[in-house]
Amino acid sequence: MRKFSPDWFRQQFPALHEPNCYLDSAATSLRPQAMIEATQAYYQTGGTVHRSHYSQAKETTERYEACRQQVAALINAADANQIIWTRGSTESINLVADAWLAHQLHPGDEILVSEVEHHANLLPWLMLAEKTGANIVRWPVNAEGELEIEQLALRLTSRTRLVAVTQMSNVTGYVPPMADIIVLAHQAGVAVLVDGAQGIVHQATDVQQWDADFYVFSGHKLYGPTGIGVLYARKDRLDEMRPIQGGGKMISHVDFNGYRLLPAPWCFEPGTPNIAGVIGLASTLDFHQTVDWQAAEAWTLKLADHAAAQLATLPGITLFRAAASPIISFVFRSLHSADLFTLISEHNVALRVGQHCAQPLMQALGVHGTLRASFAAYNTDDDVEKLVKAVTFAYQLLTEEE
């Protein structure tokens, strides 16, 4: 039976057994005890996958492969074999760039990237364009920091080969109209890669309903382990991909005359994988099955709304927050965010400060950087109070010195 109570949920996270105010979940979430125990149990028992036939290795391989099905169910992929393990969203995007798009690009072709993107969904395309002579086309945000479908339509051309867009901004929490974006791109014959690193934990995701060509996310933003990520590829796109690395476990035969690849996804996973990461992710997804995520997200947004309303009363503050967002970025007029951050940290409030790996969006918003508070379902009303108190203290102290 799925359930959610703020107290019960918080108790599942050992990092919060002390009165910590953790508001940096957009960078990485904390981990539940069940995930920690599963990872520890794997390291205590050992064993590898796809190589050995003793009982422990077989059991580990079965659990490892079953996690593909769990991920497929999470994002409603048609087939678990459309799930490729990577080290995270960044490697997943680079894999699409090198294994799919690189051999199709010609000089003058275009990759359309939104201005909202994290650097992980911009730099791989810039690097690929540099190597191939392709061009990067910017899809700009409007004055509210949002993307407009009309602007996308204007930028799609016969040379466009891919649209790269996030499911949720890691700066403002803005959610682009993904279904509309994909329909418009596909009408123009253009593939779409969706960066789900932020969105996966806050939104129900259905890659079939969207008809996404590629979808990526990282375990560590989903209450799971670091170092494990997912690349989902639509079946026709998967068939067009070419392995870019060679090694063990990806072939059915090899000799000095050549080799035969295993089918996808295994041909894209050479070498000994992050077994503990997959086992930990599997346990995290087991944990997910016990939680009413609609109620959890409603609680998260209630906290963020309350915090934003209180912060907005402070003189000189500018909030960068989309509607119904778990993320609040903010700056103060005439005050340096790093100075504020130093004082806030003295109150044991964990925030983020800087450009959040989103420099183009910062430029579009007209700021050098922001402070960012990002809420998750384990946060409490007490966290809101601590945040507002710490920010108010820092603001008052710095303005007194002016």
Q: Which of 241, 243, 263 is nearest to 252 (CA)?
A: 263
Q: Which residue has the tokens 């590829």?
A: 233
Contact 219, 231 (CB under 8 A): no
Catalytic residue among 21, 67, 267, 357: 357
Paired tokens of 312:
């907005």
Paired tokens of 368:
């050098």
Contact 308, 319 (CB under 8 A): yes
Contact 201, 221 (CB under 8 A): yes
Contact 141, 364 (CB under 8 A): yes
For residue 349, the cross-strand partners are 21
| Active site (annotated) includes residue 67 | no
For residue 139, the cross-strand partners are 114
Q: Which residues of 315-350 are buried (b: 16+ CB within 10 A; e: fewer)?
A: eebebbbbeebbbbbbbbeebebeebbebbeeeebb
**What interhelical angle do 123-132 and 89-96 show, nearest 10?**
20
Residues acting as catalytic residues: 357
